[in-house]
Structure 1
């Protein structure tokens, strides 16, 4: 059983963009993807630039996978799995995310 924590309202995330939220002491990048109106949550920490910037990345699709391009060096990360598409040995932590009564919640 997961404990869900409200981090913002869905209306606070413009479709096609991401926001950063603090969750259990960790920065989490939450994306509202325009193409499928889904939410994804991954670590905000970019392992290549070593900066908390992932929420500023650009979302899209690559090879049929919903992804975010890191804003610094442009590596692509699968938003569902966290896997880096250019380097399979690198990945982002993925968080459960949902919408409940208009609130975005992380599990």
Structure 2
């Protein structure tokens, strides 16, 4: 089975630091973030509420961990792993992201 292709999302300079944007990648809503720690991409769907809002979350950190807090109930997710730092066993799917030729690209990861 071949890996999914990289999909161009936007130019890097269109991503404001510490803000998220939503992108549709192969039919999946993805939240893309640019922080001082780098680029991150996770599913835009909040696993607690089912709403597609994580791209509008509050970007921050807990210690050395870059995070996003859901704008609805404020659960905090580790942008590196997708793990919820507030609710054990809850996570958001993380995707691969890179900048190539000034373009931010995302490659979907499958669960599991």
Q: What interval of TM-score do these two structures reach, taking the shorter chain for normalisation?
A: over 0.9
Structure 2 gaps, min length 5: 108-112
Q: CA deviation at 1:47?
A: 1.4
The answer to whether structure 1 residue 18 and structure 2 residue 20 are counterparts is yes
The answer to whether structure 1 residue 58 and structure 2 residue 62 are counterparts is no
Task: Give TM-score, length-normalised by structure 2.
Answer: 0.88
Aligned length, in residue pairs: 105
Structure 1 gaps, min length 5: none
Q: Which residue of 1 aligns with 2:110?
A: none
The answer to whether structure 1 residue 80 and structure 2 residue 80 are counterparts is yes
Q: CA deviation at 1:64?
A: 2.2
Query: Does the residue aligned with 1:95 lie in a helix, a strand or coil?
Result: strand
Q: CA deviation at 1:49?
A: 2.1
Distance across 1 between alignment mates of 2:64 and 2:14: 27
Q: CA deviation at 1:63?
A: 3.2
Distance across 2 between alignment mates of 1:92 and 1:25: 17
Q: Which residue of 2 aligns with 1:96?
A: 96
Distance across 2 between alignment mates of 1:53 and 1:32: 16
